[in-house]
Every structure is written in C-alpha cells, then in structure tokens.
Amino acid sequence: MLNIYNSINLPILKKELDRLELKLKESVSGYDTFLDEVALHLINAGGKRIRPCLTILSSLADFEGTIDESMEVVSADVITGAVAIELVHLASLYHDDVMDEATQRRNVESVNSKWGNLVAIVTGDYLLAKSASIAASLGSVVASLLANALSELCAGQISEVNKAFNPNRTLEEYFNSIGGKTASLMSTACHIGAIIGNVSDSTIKELVDIGTYLGYIFQIRDDILDVAANFDKLGKSPGQDLAEGIYNLPAILAMNDPIYGSAVTKKLGKVLNDQDMTEVSDLIKSTDSIKESLKYIESYLEILISSTKNIKSEQVKESFVNLGIQLAEDAREVLTEI
C-alpha cells in the first residue's frame, strides 16, 4: 500500500509534514473544548496527507539544484495553503461518513458513530469555514481556487448520489463524478502550491493537469480496492460502494461483461443483504473488470508522466511520477489476490 515517504523523493518531506500537522491542529483548536475534540478526531487519526504533499511539491517545481534535508525551502504560506486544502478534504470525510453511515475511518471510530450525525455534519461545516478563512488570508486568487474546488467536489458528490442504485450509470457519468469529487481537489492542491511558490505560468498548467491525472488514478485505485481488497488494506470494510448503491468503475465494466454482465446487473439496483453482497462481489471479480479498470489507470499514468517534462526540479518530477506509479501498483497487487 501507498507509503508517502517512499513515493516522494524529498529529504525535507518529513520535516515539512511535521510542520503541517502542527499547523493543522492549531487551525481547529481553541474555540471550545468539545469542538476541539471532535475537530481533531480525524487529524489525530493520521492519514497519508497526499493533498498537502501535492501542494508542497508544486511549490518547488521551479527549484534549481538539489534539495537536501538541511534546507528551508518551503515557505510558511505554502504550509498554510496545504492546511486549507487538507481541511476541505477532512470536512468531506466527516460528511461522507454520515451519508455512508460509516462506523470506522482510518482505523478509529467515525465521528458520526461516536458523537452522532448532527455533530459530524456541523463539525464538517466548521472545518470548511476554517479552510475558507485560511485561504482568504493567502489572497483572493487562492480563496477563489479553493471555493471553486469545493463547488466541484459537491457537484461530483451530488452526481454520484443522484445515480445511486442505478445500474444504468454510464462511464461518462462516472468520470464526471470522480473528476469533481476527487480530481478537482488534488488539481487545486497543485495549483495553490504553484501560485504561492511563484512557479512559471506554463508549468502551473502542467501541475494542474498532473493533479487531475493523479486524482483519477487515486480514485480508480480506491474503486478497485473497494471491490477486491480486504479490510487490512482498506482500513474499512470492502464493498462499501456496492452497499451504498454506488456503482464504481469495476462494477460498471462488470455489468457490460459478455459472460457475467447480465447476472451482475440483476443483482444490483437494490439494497444488498450479506449473501447478495458476497455473490455480486464474486461475480465482479470473475469478470475482466479489474484488468479493464487498470487500463484506465495505465492510460492516465502515461499522460501524467508526459506532463512532467517541463518541471525544472528533477526531484519534484521524480516524486510526481513515483507517486503515480505507486498508486498504480497498489491496484495491480489486487489482481494477485483474486
């Protein structure tokens, strides 16, 4: 599974992520003891911090020379921008867990399970408000980018919910949805880092594209893992999308399978009991849908690699490529287990 330090070739990464953690906790603390506890719940549970990493990497895209661990090359504003991005992501998790009726997140009890849906929703809103305030402190351009990403995230989520339990969900609808709910925030993470880091305009465009492609790779990887991985790999119960009537890429492709497609489709379109869940999961894994989903990842990875050609920093370039490769490898590993 993804190890952020193995994927990103920056000797300063641990130091910068330590700065990020401190700033994250400071940003949501001090208003009220109970609110502090709830707002810090998922922050303290940890996470890959992939979006802040994208912000940090993008800010250094034009750096010339070799970055070593003794250097102080990431500004306070870059860390602040990374905090704003991560707070939006964390807020989405609070809201997602309510919609999913989840009981666990990051191997701890979910906020909605521990304190109830109302507390989870309002705390998610609080994190969004904090993010907006932080983004505004960095200027109108950053604030506008983050607001636009949030609107795209919500639109992607609504699009997905609107197609819940619909076996006729199309590939176009699927990709439009994940473009909003996942790729938009990763793209914005790169964009904000590049702007704060005063990266050249031509490179900013490439970084925005890189964030988008990483977002697609990341989401398709998650979809594959949701269908075929186990609890230990996911940190949550597999098959959650199917249980919620969210028919992801492997499910859509399986419904079009010439042999098992009709059987898969007949199982879907309704709430699944445990037996149905097992049967439909086995059917999906019997098709070529995982392999076909991997082809989409490989295609995006190829485009991502070609998009890094003008990045001046070889370490940053290598880190973006390695991150994409590692995400793809996580998805490929599933094939050896089914």
Q: Given this model, what pLDDT does residue 237 score?
A: 61
Cα(95)–Cα(117) distance, integer angstroms = 9
Amino acid occupying residue 322: N
CATH, domain range 4-335: 1.10.600.10
pLDDT score at 102: 74
Q: Give the residue-averaged pLDDT of 213-233.
A: 86
**Residue 182 carries which DSSP code?**
I
Query: Do residues 18 and 79 touch, judged by C-beta distance below 8 A?
Result: no
Nearest to 110 by CA among 236, 16, 5: 236
d(CA 5, CA 153): 27
Predicted local distance difference test score (pLDDT) of residue 4: 85
Contact by Cβ (8 Å): 186, 215: yes
Which is more confident, 101 or 176?
A: 176
Angle at 272 between CA 270 and CA 278, to 5 degrees: 135
User: Quick one: pLDDT at residue 98?
Assistant: 81
Residue 188's pLDDT is what? 98
Of the listed ranges 53-57, 216-220, 277-281, the one predicted with least confidence? 277-281
Q: Name the CA dihedral angle for 320, 324, 327, 329, rounded to a multiple of 10 degrees.
A: -120
Q: What is the mean pLDDT of residues 52-56?
A: 98
pLDDT digits (tens, 9 = 90+) for 145-183: 999 999 999 999 999 999 999 999 999 999 999 999 999
Spans of all domains in the chain: 4-335
> 230-253: string of b/e by CB count within 10 Å (b at 16+)?
eeeebebebbebbbbbbbbbbbbb
**Number of neighbouring beta carbons within 10 Å of residue 5:** 11
Distance of CA 160 to the CA centre of its chain: 15
The mean pLDDT value for 289-315 works out to 96
Cβ contacts of residue 294 below 8 Å, gap of 6+? Answer: 224, 328, 331, 332, 335
- Residue 30 CB neighbour total at 10 angstroms: 9
Tell me how far the alpha carbon of residue 135 is from its chain's centroid. 20
pLDDT at residue 115, as a whole number: 85
pLDDT greater than 80 at residue 105: no
